[in-house]
Structure 1
Amino acid sequence: MNRPLIALLSGAGISTDSGMPDYRGPNGLWRRDPEAEKLVTYDYYMSDPEIRRRSWQLRRESETLRARPNAAHEAVAALERSGAPVRVLTQNVDGLHQLAGMPERKVLELHGTARSVVCTGCGARGPMADALARVEAGETDPPCLACGGILKSATVMFGEHLDPEIIGAAAAIAEACQVFVAVGTTLQVHPAAGLAGLAADHGARLIIVNAEATPYDDRADEIVREPIGTALPALLARLSG
């Protein structure tokens, strides 16, 4: 008997136990400091050198590259290792699913990754750690070493379009899965949020694990409000049985 395909859409809430910030929750970064959005807004970033300098300092001080997977990430990777067909669609840019052991090919990073940089001019990519080493050495706004263009995190900033190939692949998984788990996401940011409805439209069992209500709660087959670090491992253990 074939095991059901499980698609897991993860948002910022899955990584808070790893020390990563929540953005839209009750104590989220955007609620506490609306001005912080400018640092990750493409037009501001490209037009204002001071915004770029502040952005590089924020990256330098960020816990992203130092963060480690928590129990929820480990549970997802353990489910995959058990032989269950699992695909992760993540709104996060921290790379913690892969660090926990999820194969790269089974993770779609809908909003890019903070572990790499990309040149806005020539498209050259490189490790974020190398760019941050240049900031540590005194470069306040390190340019691309290949063409001198503006470097940015390889994340999708506000005002940028998501990669249509990645979104298309995520939609195909949502349509094909038998179980769709949305964890740690408010399901307010589209097109990622719409994947939950797409999965439900195609007959998947929709499970939402989130502290706050979401716009898709009325379509969910199961809603879990308990802390993700304990609730998700228990849920996945039940699904694997």
Structure 2
Amino acid sequence: MRIAVLTGAGISAESGVPTFRDDKNGLWARFDPYELSSTQGWNDHPERVWAWYLWRHHLVQRVDPNDGHRAVAEWERIPGIVDVSVITQNVDNLHERAGSSAVHHLHGSLFEFRCDICDSAYHGELPDMPEPQLEANPPVCPCGGLIRPDIVWFGEPLPDGPWDASVEAVRATDLLVVVGTSSIVYPAAGLPELALAQGTVVVEVNPEPTPLSADATVTLRESASTALPTLLQQLPSLLGKKS
């Protein structure tokens, strides 16, 4: 059996990773997300954008994977399951830290950095930032460019490698589990549509209804940490109720 898991912000929120919109009263509340997550924002204020992502980089390091992340990693060790591919819209590394071995980051990662001119990967040390700061100077590449987070910003295309691997995983899977995603951000939202079109079982795990809910094979109105640890054991009965 092959399993693909598509995850969004909901699974990470259970570990305490805030989204931009959660920061209602903090330092960054007065900024529009576009100012901090676009090439225009970077070109206008690289020190501000760098400080925002450096703080998030260190914030994620201080939280732990939850039972949802760990359950997905454990599926790899169940006899009869030959592959578990994680496709995530999240930029944290919680799936990897939980033990998942195949993780495709559609929107980049807070733990990868590159030059904004020559695209060379950056592996230098980063200063600590225990509390958010409004500005911080990004490192400088030998070519003279600035080091930026390897994140997909507004208006940028998804990286070809992770996207192609994600499409291949969905086409080959016997089961797609969609966890904690709004199902409105494309092209990622098209992956469940691809699975359904080829007759693959699609299980949605989300406390809130989404555009996918009406079409999913099974919908569970539960959090990831509640639903995922027992999902595979319950799946035969859930599919029996659906049919």
TM-score normalised to the size of structure 2? 0.84
1:58 aligns with 2:55: no
1:8–1:181 contact (8 Å) kept in structure 2 = yes
1:94 aligns with 2:83: no
Structure 1, residues 52-103: CA drift from partner, whole Å, max 9, x if none? 2222222343212322211111101111122422111111110111111111
Structure 1, residues 170-190: CA drift from partner, whole Å, max 9, x if none? 112111211111000001111
Q: Alignment partner for residue 180 of structure 1, among 176, 179, 184?
A: 176
Q: Alignment partner for residue 136 of structure 2, among 116, 137, 140?
A: 140
Return the alpha-carbon distance in structure 2 between the equivalents of residues 133 and 53 of structure 1: 15
Give the AA of the match of 1:82: I
1:7–1:87 contact (8 Å) kept in structure 2 = yes
- SS of the residue corresponding to residue 126 of structure 2 reads helix
2:41–2:49 contact (8 Å) kept in structure 1 = no
Show the 5 A alignment for 1:108-187: 108-127=104-123, 130-133=125-128, 140-187=136-183
The count of aligned residue pairs is 227
2:118–2:145 contact (8 Å) kept in structure 1 = yes
Alpha-carbon distance, 1:239 to partner: 4.8
Q: Alignment partner for residue 193 of structure 1, among 189, 193, 202?
A: 189
TM-score normalised to the size of structure 1? 0.84
1:17 aligns with 2:14: yes
CA RMSD in angstroms comes to 2.7
Structure 1, residues 122-149: CA drift from partner, whole Å, max 9, x if none? 1121248x2335999x992223332220
Question: Corresponding residue for 1:73?
Answer: 69
Report the identity percentage.
37
Whichever structure has more helix as a proportion of its residues is 1
